[in-house]
């Protein structure tokens, strides 16, 4: 009588006698050498990769020692790998001429990848306000989605806890996190000015409440007055916008007002002055030329503190009267030049 066939699977000798340490080692993430061409930036990566002095130092270090800290990436459905941590190292390695990099490949969903990407980059010493703003926003959105998936009945509670979590991880208050995230509402030109320290953080937060058109009007007014906004000016503009009273003229008037920590100054719109000067003239050059004309034409002067213009006019003169006098003087100069040219 034939015996029934038995399908018995036996463990190999190595499986039976392998140590627990060896089995754990097999499960650990392995560092792989991956071609630079297969590595792609994280979608909507908020951190800037700049070719600055710090980048050059990184390039020189990589030329000498190689990339000692592996990147972290995840597979992309369309092929290749998406960098989660290591964008600056990847760029520096390209500049150094490397063809492949050490990478830990990790399977991660979108939200987990965002959290790791943000946290790994926020450890850097030098981070721009715009980078923090978008990084905090991305992390908060990811935490909100995770909270909503785990408890659909308490979304508001999850959102509140998410803000506190972002603040706790960053070592700042939840209000600071919210204020940084407000900066993401600024138009790119204004946000760049925050990064360049042409606009301070607190005024920038207030300006973020203006809509896009209002922000562009403000940007033009700021350029024409050649003033950066104080906190009180930005707060006033925000209130005026909320009441429906915002316009370019309003912004120009507010930005042209003297700040508490400054001496009085006379503000003349760029387009008013430009026709009297070559296009290449800087504001400083125009000011010096006007001062020179005043020196040439003055009969009697009243000294007014250290202000560059007011010392040439009576103390009772308003900014408008001073502006009119200067324009009249410039018109006379222009007519004189035309007359001389015709002779």
Identify the residue with better confidence: 114 or 14.
Answer: 114
What is the value of pTM for the model shown?
A: 0.63
Mean pLDDT confidence for 86-110: 93
Mean pLDDT confidence for 194-205: 95
SS3 159: helix
Q: Give φ, ψ of 40 to 5 degrees.
A: -125, 150
Mean pLDDT confidence for 74-79: 93
pLDDT tens by residue, 36-66: 999 999 988 888 888 888 899 999 999 999 9
Mean pLDDT confidence for 192-218: 96
**Would you place residue 141 in the very low, low, confident or very high pLDDT band (cuts 50, 70, 90)?**
very high
Residue 6 has pLDDT above 70, yes or no: no
Q: What DSSP string describes 227-264? A: -PPPHHHHHHHHHHHHTT---HHHHHHHHHSPPTTS--
Give pLDDT, residue 260.
Answer: 59
Q: Which sign does the torsion angle of CA 113, 114, 118, 121 carry? A: positive
Give the lowest-confidence range in 169-183, 229-243, 259-273: 259-273
Residue 212 has pLDDT above 70, yes or no: yes
d(CA 258, CA 230): 10
Mean pLDDT confidence for 119-136: 88
**Would you place residue 3 in the very low, low, confident or very high pLDDT band (cuts 50, 70, 90)?**
very low
Q: What DSSP string describes 99-130? A: SEEEEEE----HHHHHHHHHHHHTTSS---HH
d(CA 118, CA 164): 16
Give pLDDT, residue 245.
Answer: 94
Give pLDDT, residue 33.
Answer: 94
Mean pLDDT confidence for 275-286: 76
d(CA 92, CA 100): 12
Helix axes 248-256, 212-225, angle to 10 degrees: 40
Give pLDDT, residue 278.
Answer: 79
Q: In residues, how long is the chain?
A: 343
Identify the residue with better confidence: 264 or 102.
Answer: 102
**Would you place residue 284 in the very low, low, confident or very high pLDDT band (cuts 50, 70, 90)?**
confident
Residue 230 has pLDDT above 80, yes or no: yes
Percent of the chain with pLDDT strictly greater than 90: 49
**Would you place residue 269 in the very low, low, confident or very high pLDDT band (cuts 50, 70, 90)?**
low
Q: Give φ, ψ of 115 to 5 degrees.
A: -60, -45
User: For residues 272 and 327, is the Cβ–Cβ distance under 8 A?
Assistant: yes
Structure tokens at 72: 């972290």
Residue 106 has pLDDT above 50, yes or no: yes
């Amino acid at each position: 009588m034939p015996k029934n066939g038995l399908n018995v699977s036996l463990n190999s000798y190595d499986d039976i006698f392998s140590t627990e340490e060896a089995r754990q080692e097999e499960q650990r993430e392995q560092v792989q050498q991956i071609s630079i061409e297969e590595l792609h930036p994280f979608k909507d990566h908020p951190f800037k990769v700049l070719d600055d002095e710090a980048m050059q130092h990184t390039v020189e270090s990589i030329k000498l020692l190689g990339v000692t800290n592996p990147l972290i990436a995840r597979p992309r459905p369309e092929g290749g790998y998406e960098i989660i941590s290591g964008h600056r190292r990847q760029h520096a390695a390209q500049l150094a001429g490397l063809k492949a990099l050490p990478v830990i490949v990790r399977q991660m969903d979108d939200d987990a990848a965002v959290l790791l990407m943000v946290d790994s980059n926020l450890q850097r010493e030098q981070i721009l306000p715009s980078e923090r703003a978008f990084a905090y926003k991305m992390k908060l959105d990811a935490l909100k989605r995770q909270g909503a998936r785990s408890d659909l009945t308490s979304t508001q509670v999850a959102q509140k806890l998410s803000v506190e979590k972002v603040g706790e991880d960053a070592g700042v208050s939840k209000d600071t996190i919210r204020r940084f995230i407000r900066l993401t509402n600024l138009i790119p030109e204004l946000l760049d000015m925050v990064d360049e320290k042409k606009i301070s953080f607190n005024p920038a937060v207030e300006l973020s409440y203006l809509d896009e058109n209002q922000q562009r009007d403000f940007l033009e007014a700021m350029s024409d007055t050649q003033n950066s906004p104080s906190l009180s000016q930005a707060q006033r503009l925000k209130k005026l916008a909320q009441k429906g009273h915002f316009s370019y003229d309003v912004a120009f008037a507010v930005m042209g007002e003297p700040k508490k920590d400054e001496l009085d100054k006379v503000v003349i719109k760029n387009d008013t002055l430009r026709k009297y000067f070559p296009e290449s003239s800087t504001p400083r050059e125009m000011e010096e030329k006007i001062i020179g004309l005043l020196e040439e034409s003055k009969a009697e002067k009243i000294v007014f503190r250290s202000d560059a213009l007011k010392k040439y006019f009576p103390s009772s003169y308003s900014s408008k009267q001073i502006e009119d006098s200067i324009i009249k003087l410039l018109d006379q100069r222009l007519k004189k030049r035309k007359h001389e040219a015709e002779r």
